[in-house]
Amino acid sequence: MLHSDAAPARIDEQEIRLLPKAEVHVHLEGTFALGDILRLAKENGVALPGPAATIFDVSTHDGFTRPEVSTGGTAQGVGGAGLSGFLRFLDWQCGLVRSGEQAARVAYSFAARQTASGVRYSDVIVNPTHWNAWRGREIALMEALAAGFDEAEQDGLGSANIAYSLLRGQSAAEAEQLIGDLVSRRPARVVAVSVDGDEKASGRTGEKFRGAFRLAESAGLRRTVHAGESSGPEGVWDALDLLHAERIDHGVRSIEDPALIQRLIDDDVPLGVCPRSNVTLGLYADWAAHPLPRLVEAGVRVTLNTDDPAPLACTIDEDWAVAAEVYGFDRAQLARFAAESIRASFADDDLKRELLAELELLTPALAGAAPGGTP
């Protein structure tokens, strides 16, 4: 049951953390902890853009204000003049990562953060355009991050693979060159390609990136695309038809197009939904106005994610608890979300089976009832 007239008992975050789960829509650029930033700034002799206590509240910094509109790139709980200011903040932050050791440390810290929230596997999105010190060395950045993820996994933390993301403003030629290099060198842990950036500012970019995505698809890389946030349903259609997206990041405005909803159901395409991000950015007035429960009721495959948890000041277990409270989701539905997150991920089949089996032991008869009964 998705809704109840009676107020449900609040489901505690600790209970949610115990559910084996994956996260499929989270940006590494949006997960730097305050301690990570302070240490990196000190190592590089770089001044902070403002007081450490308010570093994520960049509205206190000159040139940075809170966003007024939603965008389709990395979520964007802070940012000057909309997305542009937040992207400047990300560029500054990621620009502090200048060595392989520092990049590996950021990856390790991400894995620790995810594990603390009960996330056992992550498809983490990395957009190299933010990492200024690595321009022209994008593959080296991927290798350094993979080394950090390797160490984290060896230490018993959750597993992570990388979705290498293009920026919507890049040209078709640049995108094809980057993906061609990725395909020829195949750095460890890069399992997918993505597109993010400002949909509204860039317009429809599906045709521009068709060649790069075909190259990735022919090489066996998975495909996920940011769409259906500021772009409306047409961005999702383009992601499906032109880029052969296997998963849509956001996708919430699909609810505006019944034919698109049916297409998502028929093609078994999951959405990586991030309600807090959508509400914080003003796409919806509040959680109650968000279409998440309508997407679930329509039969669309839905996963619940954080997008950029550090600037949004959230964790995935907290957001699942809010969703349960606002929408009346019960424990059975949360178990189905956990199972769906695992199935929608780009983890290998062995890990999916392992996590689903563990989930079913914790929630008998619930995990097996989730949509798409096999990994």
pLDDT of residue 69: 27
Q: Is 5 exposed, middle or buried (0-12, 13-18, 19+ CB in 10 A)?
A: exposed
Q: How many CB atoms lie within 10 A of CB 140?
A: 14
CA–CA–CA angle 60, 65, 69 (5° rounding): 150
pLDDT of 206: 85
Residue 306's pLDDT is: 98
List pLDDT tens digits, range 344-362: 999 999 999 999 999 999 9
Helices and strands in the chain: count of H runs, count of E runs: 16, 8
d(CA 16, CA 338): 9
Distance CA 39, CA 262 (A): 48
Among 88, 37, 302, residue whose Cα is nearest residue 198: 88
Q: How would residue 365 be classed by pLDDT, with cut points 50, 70 and 90?
A: low
246 and 344 in contact (C-beta within 8 Å)? no
Which sequence spans correspond to the domains of the chain?
Answer: 26-31+101-362
DSSP 247: E
Q: How far is CA 39 from CA 44, 45, 148, 232, in A?
A: 9, 10, 17, 40
Residue-wise pLDDT for 107-140, tens only, equals 999 999 999 999 999 999 999 999 999 999 999 9
Which pTM value belongs to this model?
0.90
Residue 274: alpha-carbon gap to chain centroid: 8
What is the reported pLDDT for 56? Answer: 81
If phi over 0 gives left and psi between -120 and 50 gives alpha, with beta otherwise, what is residue 313?
left
Residues designated catalytic: 229
DSSP label of 367: G
pLDDT at position 183: 97
Residue 370 has pLDDT above 60, yes or no: no
What number is the average pLDDT over the span 21-44? 96
The superfamily in CATH containing domain 26-31+101-362 is Metal-dependent hydrolases (3.20.20.140)
What percentage of residues in the chain have a pLDDT greater than 70? 87
Burial class (CB in 10 A: 0-12, 13-18, 19+), 350: exposed
Taking a C-beta distance cutoff of 8 angstroms, is the pair 317, 17 a contact?
A: yes
